[in-house]
């Protein structure tokens, strides 16, 4: 069965210091995107501001970029998230990179979209820093959607390992815990994908293929 997937990505390409580059982590976008396309899913690409989405330069790889050419091409001109009708989609998917910590994390539009997906029991999936997209979303009773849910994200230990913790506005791991999430992590760089109801989260870019396969498996049930 064809599925309609709304992949929502960051527009931010610098950390808060205005000097250090970040952006979308390419593998976390390209691997799910290609996996979805191979399954004949219909995939739309959204960002908050629309337009071109820039990649974290540390996530680019010449050989893989050839393989992922089509995935890079669709990032050249994204549509604004506010222009989409979430009722037309079966899932909303948030790839990571550190960029989402600066725009998606505090977006009321993202919060409304994710809340609507949750209300209608549609799939919400996020990897690495993509779970920043879950922070603003609430249930109809006002509680956060992650409250009582098993989730993961790029961990504090991984931030420290890659020396990024000082560049971030907050800890995503701690923000999820503060909203009542049951946080589950594995070691630095270990594959970890958590499924709890209609929420799927992945810990890091190493989990990209498992994350994509888990989404496909979710829809095959």
Residues 188-211 have a mean pLDDT of 98
Sheet containing strand 42-47, strands side by side = 79-80, 42-47, 4-9, 91-94, 123-127, 199-202, 193-196
At 61 the pLDDT is: 81
**Average pLDDT of the segment spanning 196-210:** 98
* pLDDT of the residue at 123: 98
* CATH 3.40.50.880, applies to 4-220: yes
Residue 87 CB contacts under 8 Å (≥ 6 apart), including other chains: 116, 120
Q: List the structure tokens of 188.
A: 């630095």
**Can you give the residue ranges of every domain in the chain?**
4-220
The more confident residue out of 90 and 69 is: 90
Does the structure show a pLDDT above 70 at 102? yes
pLDDT computed for residue 65 by the predictor: 74
Does residue 201 surpass a pLDDT of 80?
A: yes
User: What pLDDT shows up at residue 64?
Assistant: 75
pLDDT at 141: 97
The whole-chain average pLDDT of the chain stands at: 96
pTM of the model: 0.97
pLDDT tens digits, 129-143: 999 999 999 999 999
Please count the residues of the chain: 221
């Amino acid at each position: 069965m064809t599925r309609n997937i709304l992949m929502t990505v960051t527009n931010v390409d610098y950390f808060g210091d205005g000097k250090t580059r970040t952006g979308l982590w390419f593998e976390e976008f390209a691997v799910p995107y290609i996996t979805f396309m191979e399954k004949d899913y219909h995939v739309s690409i959204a960002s908050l501001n629309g337009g071109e989405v820039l990649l974290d330069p540390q996530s680019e790889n010449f050989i893989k970029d050839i393989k992922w050419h089509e995935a890079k091409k669709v990032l050249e001109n994204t549509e604004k998230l506010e222009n989409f009708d979430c009722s037309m989609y079966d899932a909303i998917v948030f790839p990571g990179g550190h960029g989402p910590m600066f725009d998606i994390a505090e977006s009321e539009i993202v919060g409304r979209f994710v809340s609507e997906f949750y209300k209608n029991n549609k799939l919400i999936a996020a990897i690495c820093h993509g779970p920043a997209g879950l922070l603003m979303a609430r249930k109809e009773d006002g509680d956060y959607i992650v409250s009582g849910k098993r989730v993961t994200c790029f961990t504090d230990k991984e931030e420290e390992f890659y020396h990024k913790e000082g560049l971030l506005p907050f800890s995503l791991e701690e923000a999820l815990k503060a909203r009542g999430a049951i946080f589950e992590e594995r070691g630095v760089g270990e594959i970890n994908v958590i499924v709890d109801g209609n929420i799927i989260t992945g810990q890091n870019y190493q989990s990209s293929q498992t994350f994509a396969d888990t989404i496909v498996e979710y829809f095959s049930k």
